[in-house]
Structure 1
Amino acid sequence: MSDVRRIEGDRVRLALARILESQTFARSERLRAFLKFVVEMEQLGLASQLKGYTIGVDVFSRDGSFDPGVDPLVRVQAGKLRRLINMYYADEGRNETLRIRIPLGSYVPVYETVSAVRRPADSAGAARTWTKPAALAEPIHLEFDTQSAPELATSGAYGPDKDLNGLPRIQIERAGEGDWRARIFENAIRLAFEQLPGFTIAPAQSKGRGSNPHLDFHLTVDAGNTGRPLGATLMHAATGQLVFHRTRPAGTEGSRHIAGFAHQFIAETMTLNGEVYAFCRCRGLSSVLMDCLEATYLYKLENSHDAYLEASRHQQRLAHPRRLPVFITDLSDLLALTTRAF
């Protein structure tokens, strides 16, 4: 806190007032009260009293029986407050030279001084609007290895209208007759897909290609005889390149063990930080929606200023030529952008 004492109280109060009056905080009365309370308490020299219990009682009107160790209310609201502060300084408060932060693991505010960096705005009211990246003025083109995937050679460039909302599509096949383990593995994959954002799955018994063939993947489940290992192999359909392979030794096992193996396979391949998205990203196959989901997921992981800016850029790409009124953190809401007007 030594740095805080060198900052004049008037500067802190003005910085706080600008945040509380901002459009970013306009709809968050409880978070405005939270921030105002902790800053004013710190400025009064009462930082030692900024504990979960005190905030729960004085800010959120909990009674004397409130136990912050059992009720996560204050911790949850503190996380929301940190994210909203990041959003403010990434947009409306981007030119602020004194910044208020609530560090992780503490409710005592700290104050950062930064060099003034002026960023152009069309008008005083433009703070709530992202600037369109210059790259959006041109169509998006994806390059493919047409020698290994000749069927893509004549598909043409994938412009925004055609490739904007593409998602990886998984088609599951069982090799040979197989045994009961392959059936359980496939069922576990299909049930888990109900909770997986950023992917689609082909209907059972489907043999056709998806609308974006460069995003088609084949998952082959090979159980063979009961005494053989259970294998799962994920391939890129257009090029035949191996994406991921895992086996589970044969032995005494039940449905729960097979489902556990399937869930582990999903975690390594069919998540936003898994092998499928990495494969598409490294080969320039990712759609705008995929980039947007990845960047927003990374922001939610890191909760950093840089991650916020990157996610904002991708969200505006997704909405182009329209503009998003707010930053979106819910992945299901991002997916909904592709099916509704706003």
Structure 2
Amino acid sequence: MFFENTHCENCGTRLGYVPEINQISAFDETDDGRWRSLHPLAKDALYQPCHNYAIENICNWVVPAPEAGTDPLCRSCQLTSTIPNLAIPENRLYWYRIEAAKRRLLYTFAELGLTVKSRQEDPERGLEFQFLEGDAQGHGVMTGHNDGIITLNIAEADDAHREKTRSSLHEPYRTLLGHFRHESGHYFFDRLIADTARIAPFRTAFGDEQADYGAALDRHYQAGPPAQWEDNFVSAYATMHPWEDWAETWAHYLHIVDTLDTAVSCGLVLVPDSPHEPTLTDQTPVEETTFDNLMKRWFPLTYVLNSLNRSLGMPDGYPFTLPPAVIDKLRFVHRVVAAAAKR
């Protein structure tokens, strides 16, 4: 089963993601239309599909079903306040792709112990998503974050448009999930760093975020990144301003923990014949391990990932290098996440 599946490809059993246990479950349907979980962690609990699962075929999450006949939205879909215009045929596919990426983001938050509330639950600090469209060329909508609202240009769900943009901006990596992870970094900066005791060590690691953002933006797009930026930043965009350095590093940390989590879930180990090839045998769950252990496991995994991609004639799946300065910033993110989870 994949995270996005609604049915088992082998036997056809109905599937759904249960947020309460962070697991995909199989279900039997009851006489009154509710779904009975077959998962050992939610055995015989009753659920019903999210409205966007049952009606729109966009989601695959379920909600507790105290009684049949209601038509609720799941925790993920509740966070979306604006969807694309579905009168345009291709927008339904774009909406599906966007929501699928967003659900992966929320899964990672849950695994890391980062709680997220909607704007309805917490008007001041809640999270909201708006999926907007510009003109025929995708212009007019900026993907970004503002005071808890993450806006995404739905043109980013068009593979051709996104690849053209990636190439024109000389980016090695550009994905829907990457956008969500980056923008969520801005959201969690406001929640976990700004106006807290962490702001001083943040400035030591990333710089003074009080620097003029507009001036930094103009400078970046006029002059580009500084020479030898690779020694201190995970991406060229991270050089623009401390806020963007944080968001890019935060996103990269989520890349690492989610990919390693998937490897553990699949039981992936690397035991090559040659002693000179990197090995990977540690199966410690990501949420239970140390930062140094994460880094130790990350290199073998990305080495094999890139080797497999090259065997398929595809670009590297992980087109990054992590110099010591970037690893120190990632360590800071790890500490912030760990402290937030404990709290």
Same fold, TM exceeding 0.5? no
- Give the TM-score of the pair, scaled to structure 1: 0.26
Question: Which is higher, the Rg of structure 1 or of structure 2?
Answer: 1
Q: Determine which structure has greater relative contact order: mean sequence separation of CA pairs < 8 Å that are 6+ residues apart, divided by chain length.
A: 1
- Give the TM-score of the pair, scaled to structure 2: 0.26
